[in-house]
Amino acid sequence: MRVSSLEYAARPGALSTPSLRRLAMISLHTSPLDQPGTGDAGGMNVYVTELARRLAQRDIEVDIYTRATASSQPADVPIAPGVQVRHIVAGPFEGLAKNDLPGQLCVFAREVLRTEAQFDVGHYDAVHSHYWLSGQVGALARDRWGVPLVHTMHTMAKVKNGLLADGDTPEPQARVIGEEQVVAAADMLIANTDDEAKDLINSYAADPTRVEVVHPGVDLDAFRPVPMADARARLGLPADADVLLFVGRIQPLKAPDVLLRAADALLRRDPSRRSRLVVAVVGGPSGSGLEHPTALADLADALGLSDVVRFVPPVHRDELADWYAAATLVCVPSYNESFGLVAVEAQAVGTPVVAAAVGGLTTAVADGISGVLVDGHDPEDYARVFERIIDSPGLRAALSVGAVAQAADFSWDRTADATLGVYGRAVELMAAEVVR
């Protein structure tokens, strides 16, 4: 019979709960090796990678389990000292959409358990799952390994369905049920913001004592203020341009169309702006946006903006920092965001953010200090804000200073330290259950 470290810690005479040595992270549907900004890769990929790196710097070995999507992928890929991605074969390598993945949960879970079985008993001290699909696997691993499960939702079906963009597809009921099951199974739940914690408690009946708010971070070494002129020169942008930037996956939820329609409104109000305007969209189609991958380009044509809009495929971090620095402002008009990593990255570079006043964006952006929060998604409202920032260099400068200060409050080191506290709480809770 397997005896977990938690069972040992709960025995009479045990001195204390053992410290965390090894952690299994589960990120089933998207790999930390994937390029953020297209497909299903986005802020969650960054979250998993950066958190794992910081935990490893604190002497915790982290294995990240993800589904293999190509036969050429090695079984194990080290991505940092103490951090390893483990590719699990579950279903065909290609051709599976995220909504097809529930059918592979059993196979994925079986192969995760089989991989762990090659190690000594008690190899992992905790499981941290990301997104509901991973949570289903994490719940099984929890019970099999006798270690606590910590879960981060990242997004929630009930919240998304309540804030759908026009024409977007609702999340299926199977996901809602799956999320409710994960909430019930997890020893601790990590929410990105206070609002997300409230959603877990009010919409999913989560136990408030098992929900902890831990803000995601930003890499303040990679995203830091650099001269706008230098960034524009490297990207080949005019020094005197008014650059409106969108970064992220191109799908209705992220609402990049709002930026294009706002740019159109801006030009209708003052056609003379056209010679200086650059609207840059950095990212690729994702989610329901894959059904019409040219929809945003078609909209640019229909609005007569093809001469000012630039579509840029997802770029690596160094070039992304240049895009942020080159922008007059960054627009994040999403219908919902659990946090809004793009907003924090942009602010860390010193660029003001114009964002929808929804979800985690109300935490990420300090309204009137680091950027401007806009109620709703009326392009005319966004155009008016763009106009104020473009035409008021003093305002932009003040927002830029506020942006850097706002981003300084978010770091991955803080995230890792707070997350370690949640792991400790989860260990205590499970040990108490063993005693009972």
Is 202 flagged in the annotation as binding?
no
- Region of 368 (left: φ > 0; alpha: ψ -120 to 50; beta: rest) is left
Is 110 flagged in the annotation as binding?
no
List, in sequence order, the alpha helices (H) in 288-392.
Answer: 295-302, 317-326, 341-349, 361-364, 379-391
Beta-strand relationship, 126-130 and 83-88: unpaired
Is 318 flagged in the annotation as binding?
no
Res 268: pLDDT: 97
SS3 call for 86: strand
Is 29 flagged in the annotation as binding?
yes
Is 84 flagged in the annotation as binding?
no
Is 276 flagged in the annotation as binding?
no
Is 56 flagged in the annotation as binding?
no
Is 41 flagged in the annotation as binding?
yes
Is 228 flagged in the annotation as binding?
no
Res 435: pLDDT: 59
SS3 call for 436: coil
Domain residue ranges of the chain, discontinuous segments joined by + = 22-217+413-435, 228-410
Residue 234's closest CA among 363, 309, 142, 324?
A: 324
| Residue 8: HSE in the Cβ half-sphere, 13 Å Cα cutoff | 13
Res 5: pLDDT: 42
Beta-strand relationship, 371-374 and 353-356: parallel
Domains 22-217+413-435 and 228-410 share a fold: yes
Is 192 flagged in the annotation as binding?
no
Is 198 flagged in the annotation as binding?
no
Res 356: pLDDT: 98
DSSP one-letter string for 361-391: HHHHS-BTTTEEEESS--HHHHHHHHHHHHH
pTM for this structure? 0.88
CB-based contacts of 431-435 (< 8 A; 24+ apart in sequence): 431/6, 431/9, 431/10, 431/17, 432/10, 434/6, 434/7, 434/10, 435/10
- The one-character DSSP state at 37 is T
Sign of CA pseudo-dihedral 415, 417, 421, 427: positive
What's the CA gap between 266 and 353, in Å, rounded?
17
Contact 426, 149 (CB under 8 A): yes
Superfamily of domain 228-410: Glycogen Phosphorylase B; (3.40.50.2000)
Neighbouring CB atoms inside 10 A of 409's CB total 14
First to last CA, the chain: 19
Sign of CA pseudo-dihedral 212, 218, 220, 224: negative
What's the CA gap between 108 and 89, in Å, rounded?
7
Name every residue whose Cβ is closer than 8 Å to that of residue 336 and which is 6 or more positions away in sequence. Answer: 155, 159, 160, 163, 253, 358, 359
Q: Which pLDDT tens digit goes with each residue over 333-370?
A: 999 998 899 999 999 999 999 999 999 999 999 999 99
What's the CA gap between 167 and 276, in Å, rounded?
33
DSSP one-letter string for 232-256: HHHHT--TT-EEEEEES-BSGGG-H
Is 327 flagged in the annotation as binding?
yes
What's the CA gap between 47 and 43, in Å, rounded?
6
Contact 301, 260 (CB under 8 A): no
Residue ranges of the chain with per-residue pLDDT less than 50: 1-18, 288-289
DSSP one-letter string for 126-157: EEEEESHHHHHHHHHHHHHHT--EEEE-SS-H
Is 418 flagged in the annotation as binding?
no
Is 210 flagged in the annotation as binding?
no
Res 402: pLDDT: 98
- For the chain, what's the residue count? 436
Contact 278, 242 (CB under 8 A): yes
Is 330 flagged in the annotation as binding?
no
What's the CA gap between 345 and 331, in Å, rounded?
12
Beta-strand relationship, 76-80 and 83-88: antiparallel
Neighbouring CB atoms inside 10 A of 86's CB total 20
Is 45 flagged in the annotation as binding?
yes
Res 286: pLDDT: 56
What's the CA gap between 64 and 48, in Å, rounded?
8
CATH architecture of 22-217+413-435: 3-Layer(aba) Sandwich (3.40)
Residue 320's closest CA among 296, 295, 300, 348?
A: 348
Res 420: pLDDT: 96
Is 175 flagged in the annotation as binding?
yes
